[in-house]
């Protein structure tokens, strides 16, 4: 089992270019997430998908779009890249909290990340 | 508005000693807290968690303490090992419903354990 995979590992873009970051999981999880990590800021949620066919904004969605192509795949698109989007991007998945709120909470599993530089 | 704060950017300890990493939060709706560990060029990995109905959770060398009245939690690593050197993130969530899975992370603390 590969867990959570992300492609590409590294990418350099020029301002205004577009690209799509790919994420795939083989954990049969319904929920998937995109985060960005910046120095001194921790990880911030960009978008998430609670199940196939649904997506929702996180804390920092501006400049991004997402597609939940199927249960396995969740992609993040930058339509017109800006230097402020230089960051490390992480995809994550999570199983269902079948025990209910306040009890055991299923951890999120992260991919290895994509390091994006926008010049 | 930083709802989860790790005020120490870095911590250095000697091998065999205790490492204590601290985390403060402001949102009283948070009811579940997690610690993640991250090595360079890898994604974060789950370490330990605690529900707001508890004040302590232990897993081997790792113990998390929660003080709800102070909105403070801490991670204790005893004894510390060089392999524990990593960035540690504190995270919190408001639990089920529409907040399910939406983790709010702290800024991270770089732990260095010297042999």
pLDDT tens track, chain A, 119 positions: 679 999 999 999 999 999 999 999 998 888 999 999 998 889 999 999 988 889 999 999 999 999 998 999 999 999 999 999 999 999 999 876 555 544 446 688 999 999 999 99
Chain A CB contacts of B89 under 8 Å are 42-43
- Cβ atoms within 10 Å of B62's Cβ, excluding its own: 17
Mutate to test the interface with A, among B41, B101, B108 (most CBs of A within 10 A): B101
- Cβ atoms within 10 Å of A24's Cβ, excluding its own: 20
pLDDT for residue A102 = 45
pLDDT for residue B55 = 95
Cβ within 8 Å, pair B43-A31: no
- Cβ atoms within 10 Å of B110's Cβ, excluding its own: 14
Chain A CB contacts of B53 under 8 Å are 102
Chain B CB contacts of A45 under 8 Å are 102-104
Low-confidence residues of chain B, pLDDT below 70? 95-101
Residue A35 half-sphere exposure, CB side, CA atoms within 13 Å? Answer: 24
The two counts, helices (H) then strands (E), for chain A are 0, 11
Please give the structure tokens belonging to residue B57: 């959770």
- The C-alpha angle A90, A94, A95, rounded to 5 degrees, equals 165
pLDDT for residue B2 = 82
């Amino acid at each position: 089992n590969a867990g959570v995979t992300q492609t590409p590992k590294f990418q350099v873009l020029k301002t205004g270019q577009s690209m799509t970051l790919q994420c795939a999981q083989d954990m049969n999880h319904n929920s998937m997430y995109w985060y960005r990590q910046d120095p001194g800021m921790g990880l911030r949620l960009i978008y998430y998908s609670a199940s196939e066919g649904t997506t929702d904004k996180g804390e920092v969605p501006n400049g991004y779009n997402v597609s939940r192509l199927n249960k396995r795949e969740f992609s993040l698109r930058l339509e017109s890249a800006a230097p402020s989007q230089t960051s490390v991007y992480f995809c994550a998945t999570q199983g269902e909290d079948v025990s209910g709120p306040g009890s055991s909470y299923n951890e999120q599993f992260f991919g290895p990340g994509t390091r994006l530089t926008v010049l | 508005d930083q709802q989860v704060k790790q005020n120490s950017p870095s911590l250095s300890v000697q091998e065999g000693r205790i490492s204590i990493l601290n985390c403060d939060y402001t949102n009283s709706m948070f009811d579940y807290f997690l610690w993640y560990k991250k090595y360079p060029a890898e994604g974060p990995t789950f370490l330990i968690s605690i529900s707001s109905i508890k004040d302590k959770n232990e897993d081997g060398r790792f113990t998390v303490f929660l003080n709800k009245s102070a909105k403070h939690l801490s991670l204790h690593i005893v004894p510390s090992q060089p392999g524990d050197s990593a960035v540690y993130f504190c995270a919190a969530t408001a639990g089920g419903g529409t907040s399910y899975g939406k983790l709010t992370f702290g800024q991270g603390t770089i732990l260095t354990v010297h042999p």
